Structure 1
Amino acid sequence: MKNKVSVLNQWAVVTGASKGLGYFYCQFLLSQGYHVLGVSRNSKNILDLVKQYPHLQVKNYDCDLSDIKNAYQLFEFAKTLNVTVVINNAGYGVWGKFQASSLDQELNMINLNIATLHILTKLFVQRFTENNFGRVINVGSMASFTPGPAFTSYYASKAYVWNLGVAINYELIRAKSKVRVITICPGPLETDFWNRSSNGKGSKEHYSSLLPVLDTQSYADKSLKKALKVKRKGFLVVGVSNKITKLIMKILPFRIVLKMVYNYQSKR
């Protein structure tokens, strides 16, 4: 591992790093020899990872990325580090029918899921392009591939993430750049996502009727391992259940897909 570190000497920035998928992404990156800057509203717990990887550096950066000025401040802070990987993982959803859900919460979510991700993707792609090296990994969702009645704004925000990342990555390939923007599209995971997005209700019971809930650490390891190596493909669907689901959504008539999503989301 020491030899790997001396060769890399590279930093990874991970947003939404304090728990769930983001935390396990930090852990996996450290196992690969990256130094890590973990970002969230309260990211101090990622410093515990220093105990497991004492030969690497772990920094935390506390900020609320739904305030877009903090995205610019984070980028400025990261200029002091040799950043070669950025994972835009921070995000949440606002559940409920569109006419009834909170506009303030939706706008806050849009700032985090879309505006901040857009800003950080733009700034780091520009920075990486100067050295013709680096990789931005955006966390989309299986929700990226269909509208989501009864969870409208979240599904729409993840569609933006997918469309943005895939298009940028194609531009980079056409320019013969070595920089990449990869979009990871997870399905249900064992996180507290629904505790924030779904009125405090747990996630597993709501997912079980539609998709199996995957182990978060296992998914983090598999998805990030692929995202760090993929050459040309702009997005990744990892896991058999997720691949089958995407295929079903493609095969079924669109109105049937909408009905399935609506019925599923309306039960929560």
Structure 2
Amino acid sequence: MANKIKNKNEWAVVTGASKGLGYCYCEELLKLGYNIIAVARDTTSLNILHEKYPNQDIKMLNYDLSDSNNCYQLFDDVKSENITLLINNAGYGVWGYFSASNLEQEMNIIDLNIKALHILTKLFVQHFIDQNNGRILNIGSLAAFTPAPVFASYYASKAYVWSLGVAINTELKKTKSSVRVITLCPGPLKTDFWNRSSNQKDAKYHSTIKVMKTTTYARKSLKRGLKTKRKNYIITGRVNKLVKILTKFAPQSCVLSSVYNYQKKRK
């Protein structure tokens, strides 16, 4: 685990904080000594953290960040605090053939996975540069590295997250800034993500590769994300790193066929 922070008055903002990976990040940050601002459409599930970490401040903000106005309002609500970390975790996908998937849901994906992340990254990068201190961890995915038939819009949104983050972080390094924007790229995790993405209450989870526990991924990726100075993005786990290599060097037709067959079975 990363070393505990020295300044007990530091705050971290986590979006998509109510469950899954976002919830795990909140708990790991509390273990490190951060105070947290947890953002989600419904944050009631985070009440248990008040009991487990009574010596730290936990603020909960109920916002639907797919509404751009709420992104600006969130920043205005928190900018007076000593925020040194933002984790852009909110997001979901819509599974299914593009010709049949719901267009309104796909527009909502763009609003949440892309527009909200873009707005918050912009506002906090500017804020962190002004205070000469701060770091953003954007939650990308292994999905960023290949198109995905039958899950097209989600994979495309994560490609945007990865490309944007790498470009911004390169700018920051080239201009000698201490601020960093690191993109974390998890592989499959056992969370509620698949239920929401497939529009099924009890969707079956399928994976052809070993799946890392969400708590384990949160702990390991947070440690590396807070520590790295040179890397633009981080892939955690040997299997995930192997998948990334295969998507890079295998013929694209083979990769697309493999992804298609994999996604087609996820129902």
What is the one-letter code of the residue matched to 2:96?
G
Partner of 2:92: 92
Cα distance between partner residues in 2 of 1:70 and 1:96: 29
Cα distance between partner residues in 1 of 2:57 and 2:232: 30
CA contact (8 A) 1:10 1:83 kept: yes
CA contact (8 A) 2:194 2:205 kept: no
Structure 1 residue matching 2:206: 3-state secondary structure: helix
Deviation at 1:5, TM superposition (A): 6.5
RMSD: 1.3
Deviation at 1:87, TM superposition (A): 0.3
Query: How many residue pairs are counted as aligned between the two chains?
Result: 263
Cα distance between partner residues in 1 of 2:130 and 2:265: 49
Structure 1 residue matching 2:211: 3-state secondary structure: coil
Does 2:220 correspond to 1:225?
no
Cα distance between partner residues in 2 of 1:32 and 1:197: 32
Partner of 1:81: 81
Partner of 1:67: 67
**Cα deviation code 1:60-98 (max 9, x no counterpart):** 000111111110110000113111100000000011111
Cα distance between partner residues in 1 of 2:243 and 2:14: 28
Distance 1:168 1:135, change over 3 A: same
Structure 2 residue matching 1:153: 3-state secondary structure: helix
Distance 1:203 1:212, change over 3 A: farther
- What 5-or-longer segments of structure 1 have no aligned partner? none
Distance 1:136 1:150, change over 3 A: same
Structure 2 residue matching 1:205: 3-state secondary structure: coil
TM-score by length of 1: 0.95
Partner of 1:127: 127
CA contact (8 A) 1:190 1:203 kept: no
Partner of 2:182: 182
Deviation at 1:148, TM superposition (A): 0.7
Partner of 1:109: 109
Deviation at 1:120, TM superposition (A): 0.1
5 Å matches for 1:1-268? 7-200=7-200, 205-207=205-207, 210-268=208-266
Cα distance between partner residues in 2 of 1:211 and 1:204: 15
Cα distance between partner residues in 2 of 1:48 and 1:164: 35
Structure 2 residue matching 1:138: 3-state secondary structure: strand
Deviation at 1:232, TM superposition (A): 1.2
**Cα deviation code 1:178-216 (max 9, x no counterpart):** 000000000111101110001316566322xx2222100
Once the two structures are aligned, what percentage of the paired residues are identical?
58
What is the one-letter code of the residue matched to 1:45?
S
